[in-house]
């Protein structure tokens, strides 16, 4: 490949890897300087190098120099006021905030919002979510929570009525089954009686009376069976009439609309929580250069951020036991 490239492009060319391999290739000669948390490829590169070392290919690469900034803490010495964006006003509980307050409160806000995300993850039932929003947010959610619970109770009452109707129908079906079994048994008895006392015989009057008794019993059973069927159909109609009534349909529709409203509120609060926790922390790790002159033209914020920055080494490949250097200030923890 090298000959093919040189024949095409000449001797002044080089092949560079991408992503995982790029870091290990350049780290052979240079030291990367990354802010804390930068480059999602680093851990994959370190794993790649460890696996190569396990197979006998031990590449000597420079460690990464990490820079840990505390940009939000550095605002403590600035005399500034911020108009917070909408996503941060809820978590901080205010729209306007001075720089020292932001510096002292952002970690607490991050912790609170992280806990909020964990709480939301545990809430499964819509009723629990609405009660939580009533307790946490209040305002209109108090009215919505009361309305939702009233709907919930009314539907529970209707559900109990439907359950009672279902139980009554279950009893009627059991009775219908019993009557059908009894009819079958009576028909068998009638047949046996016919074969034993009437077929090819001159039946005695009492035997004919017994046969008429069987026929009367079967007629009564047929009437009772038909009535049981009518009762089952009527029960089903009553149940359908309840569950498909305008009241029930409206209650279900209103309950669903409140649940959707609660889920939308949950999503919005989760978005704010992510921004105020992970987003705010990530932004503080890698402040953009243009922020400093725009926010604090005096340079106080920049000087404080830089003077409190911490530098530390992050090894890409672990040296063997025989090659491990003794601990020094440059290889252990902060170096500047």
DSSP 149-214: HHHHHHHHHHHHHHHHHHHHHHHHHHHHHHHHHHHHHHHHHHHHHHHHHTTTS---HHHHHHHHHH
Confidence of residue 327 (pLDDT cuts 50, 70, 90): very low
- The two beta strands, 64-68 and 33-35, are parallel
Q: How far is 53 from 38, CA to CA, in rounded Å?
A: 25
Beta carbons of 158 and 252 less than 8 angstroms apart: no
pLDDT value at position 240? Answer: 93
Helix (H) or strand (E) holding 19, with range, is none
Q: From residue 210, give the alpha-carbon distance in Å to each of 192, 194, 197, 205, 277.
A: 12, 10, 10, 9, 90
What secondary structure letter does DSSP report for 325? P
What secondary structure letter does DSSP report for 271? H
Confidence of residue 179 (pLDDT cuts 50, 70, 90): very high
Beta carbons of 82 and 102 less than 8 angstroms apart: yes
Which pTM was predicted?
0.71
Sketch the domain layout of the chain as residue ranges.
Answer: 1-69+309-336, 127-272
Q: From residue 185, give the alpha-carbon distance in Å to each of 178, 182, 251.
A: 11, 5, 49
What would the mean pLDDT of 138-165 be, rounded to a whole number?
Answer: 94
What secondary structure letter does DSSP report for 77? G
Ordered DSSP codes for 277-291: IIIHHHHHHS--TTH
Confidence of residue 85 (pLDDT cuts 50, 70, 90): very high
Q: From residue 136, give the alpha-carbon distance in Å to each of 82, 115, 133.
A: 25, 13, 5
H helix intervals, 40-139: 42-54, 86-92, 99-122, 126-136
What secondary structure letter does DSSP report for 245? S
**More confident call, 198 vs 287:** 287
In this model, does residue 24 exceed pLDDT 90? no
Confidence of residue 58 (pLDDT cuts 50, 70, 90): confident
Confidence of residue 334 (pLDDT cuts 50, 70, 90): very low
Per the structure block, which two tokens stand in for 213? 């008794």
Q: How far is 152 from 125, CA to CA, in rounded Å?
A: 12
């Amino acid at each position: 490949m090298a000959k093919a490239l040189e024949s095409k492009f000449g001797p002044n060319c080089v092949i560079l890897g991408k992503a995982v391999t790029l870091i290990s290739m350049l780290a052979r000669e240079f030291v990367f300087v990354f802010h804390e948390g930068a480059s999602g490829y680093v851990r994959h590169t370190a794993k790649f190098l460890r696996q190569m070392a396990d197979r006998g290919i031990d590449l000597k690469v420079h460690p990464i120099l990490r820079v840990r900034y505390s940009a939000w803490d550095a605002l403590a010495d600035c005399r500034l006021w911020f108009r917070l964006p909408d996503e941060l006003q809820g978590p901080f509980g205010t729209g306007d905030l001075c720089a020292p307050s932001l510096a002292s409160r952002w970690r607490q806000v991050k912790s609170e919002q992280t806990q909020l995300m964990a709480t939301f993850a545990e809430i499964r039932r819509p009723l629990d979510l609405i009660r939580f929003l009533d307790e946490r947010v209040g305002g209109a959610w108090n009215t919505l929570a009361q309305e939702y619970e009233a709907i919930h109770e009314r539907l529970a009452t209707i559900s109990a009525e439907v359950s009672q109707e279902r139980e009554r129908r279950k009893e009627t079906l059991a009775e219908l089954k019993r009557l059908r079994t009894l009819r079958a048994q009576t028909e068998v008895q009638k047949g046996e009686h016919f074969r034993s006392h009437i077929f090819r015989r001159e039946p005695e009057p009492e035997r004919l009376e017994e046969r008429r008794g069987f026929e009367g019993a079967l007629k009564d059973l047929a009437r009772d069976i038909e009535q049981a069927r009518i009762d089952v159909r009527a029960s089903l109609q009553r149940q359908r009439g309840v569950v498909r009534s305008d009241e029930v349909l409206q209650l279900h529709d209103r309950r669903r609309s409140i649940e959707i409203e609660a889920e939308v509120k949950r999503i919005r609060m989760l978005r704010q929580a992510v921004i105020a926790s992970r987003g705010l922390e990530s932004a503080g790790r890698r402040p953009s250069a243009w922020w400093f002159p725009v926010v604090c033209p005096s340079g106080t914020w920049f000087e404080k951020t830089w003077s409190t920055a911490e530098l530390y080494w992050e090894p890409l490949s672990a040296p063997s036991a025989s090659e491990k250097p003794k601990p020094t200030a440059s290889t252990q923890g902060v170096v500047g």
